[in-house]
Chains A and B, each alone.
Chain A
């Protein structure tokens, strides 16, 4: 089992460029998440998706869009990248539906630098 797979692993963008971070899980989980990790700030939730076809904003959604393409895939798009979006991005999935007694499983992260 691959678990949660993120692509790319590294990316450098120029200010104003756009890009899409891809995430796929093979655990048949309903819920998927995008987080960003910045030094001293822990992981902050950008968007999440309870199931295919639904998405909700997290703590820091500004500047991002998401698409839950199907049950397996959840992508994060930066339409016009800014230096403040330099971060490490993590995708996660879980079977948390109706009850929270399950953990989130994380991908290896995408390190994004915006210059």
Chain B
């Protein structure tokens, strides 16, 4: 079955350290992939997306992600984390449906804690 796996439930990093959040997907064709961020009590905000072309995509707030087809991965990275990056991060894939649209399937999320 098509799915998205985020193996890390919690990650703690020090402010200024680098960050990598892992995401693996299970889907036969070329996927449409997304990373979202959710601050406490808020909705989801798109960080970046991959559709095709360059496998390294840049997003907002200094985030980037790399699509690796051979590893079925789409890991999120940031060179230097700021305290304001503390939030929950979700990886998602868009899957085609028989009704002509796409549905978005999400991973279980990774909660990031940033130490001062």
CB distance from B21 to the nearest CB of A (A): 14
Contact in complex: A56, B97 (CB < 8 Å): yes
Contact with A along B27-69 (1 / 0, CB 8 A): 0000010101000001111100101100000000000000000
Contact in complex: B106, A43 (CB < 8 Å): yes
At the interface, is chain B mostly helix, strand, loop or mixed? strand
Contact in complex: A104, B43 (CB < 8 Å): no
Given A90-B43, A103-B46, A109-B43 in contact, is the A42-B100 Cβ separation under 8 Å? no
Contact in complex: A94, B102 (CB < 8 Å): yes
Counting chain B residues whose Cβ lies within 8 A of the other chain, the interface size class is 20 to 34
A-B contact count (CB 8 A): 77
Identify B101's interface contact among A43, A58, A96, CB under 8 A: A96
- A25 at the A/B interface (Cβ < 8 Å)? no
Counting chain A residues whose Cβ lies within 8 A of the other chain, the interface size class is 20 to 34
Contact with B along A61-84 (1 / 0, CB 8 A): 000000000000000000000000
- B90 at the A/B interface (Cβ < 8 Å)? yes
Contact in complex: B42, A108 (CB < 8 Å): yes
Given A42-B90, A103-B46, A103-B49 in contact, is the A98-B104 Cβ separation under 8 Å? no
Contact in complex: A41, B46 (CB < 8 Å): no
Who on chain A is nearest to B51 by CB? A101
CB distance from A21 to the nearest CB of B (A): 14
CB distance from B14 to the nearest CB of A (A): 25
Binding site for B on A (CB under 8 A): 4, 30-31, 33, 35, 40-45, 48, 50-51, 54, 56, 58, 90, 92, 94, 96-101, 103-109
30 interchain pairs, CB-CB under 8 A: A30-B101, A33-B104, A40-B108, A41-B108, A42-B90, A42-B109, A43-B44, A43-B106, A45-B104, A48-B103, A51-B101, A56-B97, A92-B44, A92-B104, A96-B94, A96-B102, A97-B101, A100-B32, A100-B94, A100-B95, A100-B102, A101-B49, A103-B34, A104-B34, A104-B104, A105-B46, A106-B43, A108-B42, A109-B42, A109-B43
